[in-house]
A and B are shown apart, each in its own frame.
Chain A
Amino acid sequence: MYCEAAQRIHLYRQAVLQAFVYLAGLQLLASSSLRSALAGSCGLLAGLAYQYNFLGIKRLKVASAHLLITP
C-alpha cells in the first residue's frame, strides 16, 4: 500500500516537471507574440539541422573545451 502511494506521487512529480518544461517553452515562444515565435522556430530549425547532421555538421568538434575550463 505504501509503495503504491509513493510510486503514484513519483509519477505525479514527473508529470508536473515535464509540464513545467513545455510550459516554460511555450511562455518563451509567446512572450512577444510573432517575433519571439519566429526566433524560437529558428532555434528549433537549428536544432533539427544539428540532430539530422545537416551538411555533416557533427564533424566539428571542440575537443579541448573541458581542458580550458577545468584546472
Chain B
Amino acid sequence: MNAGAGGFAGAPVTKVILASSISSSVILQAAHGLQRRAPSPYLHFLSQSFVFRHPGELACGTLLLYYFRLLERQRGSAKHGACVVSTLAINYALQSVVSAALSTVLPSGPYGLIFANFVPFVLDIPPAQNFTLFGLPMTDKASTPHQSVTPFKNSCAIPTYICTQKLMYAHLGSL
C-alpha cells in the first residue's frame, strides 16, 4: 500500500502523528495490566485521539494513516496541519456527545483522523483513469500524486528526493 515516493518526503505532519500514535499505543498496550489513576481531561483528549488499545487496530490504522500522507503532499503541510487540528477538535466533541448520549465508552484511537481523511480522498483527488474490474467501478487515484512530491527544506526530504532522482536517471540510462 504505497502511493508516490516511499517514506515521509514532504509529509512532516503525518510523520509526527504516526510516531506519536505508534509509540504511545505500544507503551500503553504494554502497560495494560498496571493500575492507573483516571487521566486529566487533557490527557484523556490525547489518549482518546491517538492511542490504539488493540494491536490489530494499530496495524490497520497505521497503514491507513501512512497511506493518507498523499493528502498532505497534495495540499501542503500547513493546510493539512490546520485540517488535522480542527478535525481532532470536532471529532472529540462529537465522540463525547455520542458516548454521553448512549452511555457507552467509544474505543480510543485516531478514528477521527483516519475516517475524516476518507472524505477528501473520495471527493477531492481526481482520478486520471476510470475503469471497471469485474463490474466494479475503479480508479487510479492511488498513483495520482506522483507528480506532486516536491523537495521541502526537510531533513529527510532532500536525501530521499536525490535518491529518487538518481534512481530515475539510472532507469533512463538502462533504457
Interface residues of A (CB under 8 A from B): 10-12, 14-15, 17-18, 20-21, 24-25, 27-28, 31-32, 35-36, 38-51, 54, 57-58, 60-66, 69-71
Contacts and interface: CB of A to CB of B under 8 A. Distances in A.
Contact of B111 (A11, A39, A64): A39
Interface stretch (B23-31, B39-47, B59-67, B160-168): B59-67
B107 A70 contact: no
A70 B94 contact: no
Nearest to B143: A14
A50 B75 CA distance: 14
B105 interface: yes
Closest 4 pairs between A and B when the two form their complex, measured CB to CB = A47-B116, A43-B115, A47-B119, A65-B81
Interface in B78-131: 78-79, 81-83, 85-87, 90-91, 94-95, 98, 102, 104-107, 109, 111-121, 123, 129, 131
Interface string B1-44: 10100000000110010000000000000000000000000000
